[in-house]
Amino acid sequence: METALTQSKAKMWTGGKSPFNVSYGKLMMWYFLMSDSFTFGAFLISYGSIRFSLNSWVDHNAVFNSFPGFEANLPLAFVSLMTFILIFSSVTMVLAVHEGHKMNQKGVEKWLFLTIIGGLGFLGCQAIEWTHLITHTHKVLVDGVIENWGTTVSHNPWGPKVLHNGEWIATPGPVAFGGYFFGITGFHGFHVTCGVIINIIMLIKTRMGDFQKRGHYEMIEKTGLYWHFVDLVWVFVFLCFYLI
């Protein structure tokens, strides 16, 4: 009986070793990503509650129909390119982690560099999209007077159209659209920026041979977890703002 109790106590976790089959660093990264997902979830749920509580909203095919260098009406084409770039950067991140498992420093450097290029490409596309929305003005009928509005946190030129002097003119749309769009996509863009900076640091440390000296590339794995999280969040942002 005493032997059974002794064996039972020996199997209990005494604090000397983690009960999870991951390192402390990976576990903390998962905790951080879980808490960050709650933040994004709260933002998107708040957006959805406002979006579906109003009788009218913006027409996504009209708002997001431009493509740099083309005058044609191309709904969602540019944001689809942004999404492809970000997903492609997630693939290169996977390959960087894979090369780390093989202790291939040159391979890690190559795929990390391409991941950074993908992140910068996405941020550049987002800057172009924001600039177009803010600076490209549209006629809006405000209290019987026609004004020219861009899309900002306080101005929404994508409201219902009315007939004014023989011309169909838009009226102000729900002001919440600009606040939520720039707020949530900006918050995501901030995460992408942080990810690019972290990846640059990891690339420098890789080139210096720090991880080769340690005998593992676990830091690349943890960075990869963060980068995949950023990509996954964009899928939900894309769904909420550009499709629904």
What DSSP state is assigned to residue 21?
Answer: S
- For residues 20 and 243, the model is more confident at 243
Give the confidence band of 17 by pLDDT, cuts at 50, 70, 90.
low
d(CA 166, CA 13): 78
d(CA 89, CA 69): 24
pTM summary value: 0.88
For 206-212, what is the mean pLDDT? Answer: 93
Q: What is the mean pLDDT of the chain?
A: 90
Residue 173: pLDDT above 90? yes
What tens digit of pLDDT does each residue of 113-132 get? 999 999 999 999 999 999 99
For 149-156, what is the mean pLDDT? Answer: 94
Q: How far is CA 121 from CA 64, 91, 164, 187, 204, in A?
A: 18, 15, 42, 17, 20
Q: Write down the domain spans for the chain.
A: 25-54+62-128+186-243
- Please give the radius of gyration of the chain, using alpha carbons only, rounded to the nearest integer: 24
Please name the CATH architecture into which domain 25-54+62-128+186-243 falls.
Answer: Up-down Bundle (1.20)
Identify the bridge partners of residue 161 per DSSP, sorted by sequence position: 170
- Which of left, alpha, beta for 132 (phi over 0: left; psi -120 to 50: alpha)? alpha
